[in-house]
């Protein structure tokens, strides 16, 4: 599992703009599928998303807060640190479950919080 | 049954009984009184009463809601699930096919003591016609996709 955690750390570094996008090719399986909310993306679309994200939100940094897993899956809680135009930082929380084939990321399911609709919006789960 | 199996069964029961049925009182058996809840990254006091209120409010709006656990991971005192909810909105009749979330649970002494909760609320609003589809919003955020 240590190798998987290291691979996810490098995956996060790509999202943070700290590693080249093409290093994804050695981290994920050719048939990779990501489920982001209810939207699906393959490796090609993942690369497009990261490139667009870095171009439009270059100051965002992701950190992993907690991870655990079993033989096939790794679950991670993560935080996106976002600097506003006023210099203040705010954060968004996300949870990601990744499925592995050997040491390669084969599938992931992630949901990131959307801003609460109102105070006290604590519904579901 | 090893601990992670019983923890997984406990979380499955929460979704089956409390969130997919109207057996709200089961929450008393599953959730610790001092449960800490992290919705949207915040921290609030949880507990069985909180869970019952949240589930009953949701099921009042979506009476036929069914939560399917598509992925479940458990190790030690932790369980993580990716759920998908299908439902009909009572007020409008809108069919919800794709409301998803990923949660973390921490379990101690046979009860859930902490929950981290993320949900695709924007996707739910889009399916209810209350917001543009997420893909449309993404294309507006990511100018290179225009």
Q: What confidence tens digit (pLDDT) does each residue in A82-91 have?
A: 877 777 788 8
Q: What confidence tens digit (pLDDT) does each residue in A7-38 have?
A: 999 999 999 999 999 999 999 999 999 998 87
ipTM: 0.86
Q: Which residues contact A30 (CB under 8 A, 6 or more apart)?
A: A43
- Which A residues in the span 27-56 are in contact with B, Cβ-Cβ below 8 Å? 35, 37-39, 48-49, 51-53, 55-56
B78 vs chain A: nearest CA distance in angstroms? Answer: 8
Q: What percent of chain A has pLDDT over 70?
A: 87
Beta bridge partners of A95: A77, A111
pLDDT confidence bin for B49, thresholds 50/70/90:
very high
CB-CB contact of B138 with A52 (8 Å): no
Please state the rounded mean pLDDT for residues B86-101.
94
Torsion (CA) B74, B81, A61, A103 in degrees, nearest 10: 50
Average model confidence (pLDDT) across chain A: 86
In the predicted structure, residue B66 carries a pLDDT above the cut 60: yes
Q: Which of B39, B50, B58 to mutate to test the interface with A (most CBs of A within 10 A)?
A: B39
CB-CB contact of A125 with A49 (8 Å): no
pLDDT confidence bin for B145, thresholds 50/70/90:
very low
Flag if A122 and B119 touch (Cβ within 8 Å).
no
A42 vs chain B: nearest CA distance in angstroms? Answer: 15
pLDDT confidence bin for B74, thresholds 50/70/90:
very high
Q: Hey, is the C-beta of A71 within 8 angstroms of any chain B C-beta? A: no
What pLDDT was estimated at residue A120?
47
| pTM, to two decimals | 0.88
Flag if B41 and A91 touch (Cβ within 8 Å).
yes
B141 vs chain A: nearest CA distance in angstroms? Answer: 8
Please state the rounded mean pLDDT for residues A27-53.
92
What pLDDT was estimated at residue A21?
93
Q: Is A104 helix (H, G, I), strand (E, B) or coil?
A: strand
Highest averaged pLDDT of the listed ranges A16-20, A119-123, B137-141: A16-20
């Amino acid at each position: 599992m240590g190798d998987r955690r290291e691979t996810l750390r490098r995956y996060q570094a790509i999202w943070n703009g700290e590693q080249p996008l093409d290093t994804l090719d050695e981290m994920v399986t050719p048939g990779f599928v990501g489920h982001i909310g209810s939207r699906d993306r393959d490796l090609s679309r993942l690369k497009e998303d990261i490139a667009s994200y870095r171009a439009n939100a270059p100051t965002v940094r992701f950190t992993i807060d907690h991870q655990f897993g079993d033989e096939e899956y790794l679950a991670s809680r993560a935080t996106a640190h976002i600097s506003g135009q006023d210099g203040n930082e705010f954060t968004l929380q996300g949870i990601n479950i990744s499925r592995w084939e050997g040491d390669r990321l084969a599938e992931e399911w992630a949901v990131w919080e959307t801003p609460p609709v109102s105070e006290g919006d604590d519904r579901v789960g | 049954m090893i601990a992670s199996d019983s923890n997984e069964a406990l979380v499955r029961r929460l979704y089956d009984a409390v969130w997919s049925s109207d057996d709200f009182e089961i929450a008393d058996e599953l959730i610790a009184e001092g449960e800490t809840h992290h919705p949207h990254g915040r921290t609030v006091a949880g507990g069985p009463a909180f869970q019952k209120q949240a589930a009953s409010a949701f099921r009042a709006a979506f009476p036929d809601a069914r939560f399917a656990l598509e992925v479940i991971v458990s190790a030690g005192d932790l369980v993580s699930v990716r759920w998908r909810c299908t439902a009909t909105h009572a007020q409008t009749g809108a069919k919800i096919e794709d409301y998803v979330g990923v949660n973390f649970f921490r379990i101690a002494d046979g009860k859930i003591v902490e929950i981290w909760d993320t949900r695709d609320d924007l996707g739910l609003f889009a399916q209810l016609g209350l917001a543009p589809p997420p893909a449309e919003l993404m294309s507006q955020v990511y100018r290179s996709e225009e």
